[in-house]
Amino acid sequence: MKWINIPPVWLAVFAVGVWWFAALQPAFLQVGGVIVVGLGTALVCLGIVLILLAAYEMRKHRTTIIPHQEAAQLVSSGIFARSRNPIYLGDALILAGLALRWEAPLAVLIVPVFVWVITQRFILDEEARLAAGFGDAFAEYRETTPRWL
């Protein structure tokens, strides 16, 4: 059951929620068209790019990408210089993008719930481990780099 508590599973669960919301919403609430679907596609692509950039940076520094594992290095370069959590930010962008692609812009309201869940289940523990493992270096990084954007 440990595999259930990983971010991709949470993203999938919330994506199903967005899809369900889109499928059940009344037709008059659907806002679609080329612009909305195109924006959704752009957000999904941007989310994927953020995740790939973060994975590349973590691999370059030879540290784990898996939550709940100890980091071998504090990664603060590349995309991590802009956001302390680019993978989770990418997940949130993918979720928002899916809501738009599925022509359910009201389903974007699910994204803040996803952000809260990810923060509670993963980010707070990760930050505590990084603070314990990297001390002042992480404190400085936390002060200069936003958690999300």
pLDDT at 9: 94
3 Cβ contact list (under 8 Å, min separation 6): 9
Contact predicate 107/142, CB 8 Å = no
**Of 8, 148, 19, 16, which is closest to residue 91 (Cα–Cα)?**
8
Alpha-carbon gap, residue 34 to 131, rounded angstroms = 45
Predicted confidence at residue 31, as pLDDT, reads 77
The pLDDT of residue 92 is 98
Residue 2: what pLDDT?
64
Could you tell me the pTM of the whole model? Answer: 0.94
The torsion defined by the Cα of 27, 29, 35 and 37, in degrees rounded to 10, comes to: -60
Distance, in Å, from the CA atom of 145 to the CA atom of 138, rounded to the nearest integer, reads 10
**pLDDT tens across the length of the chain (149 residues):** 566 789 999 999 999 999 998 888 877 777 778 999 999 999 999 999 999 999 999 999 999 998 889 999 999 999 999 999 999 999 999 999 999 999 888 899 999 999 999 999 999 999 999 999 999 999 999 999 999 99
Burial of 101 (0-12, 13-18, 19+ CB in 10 A): buried
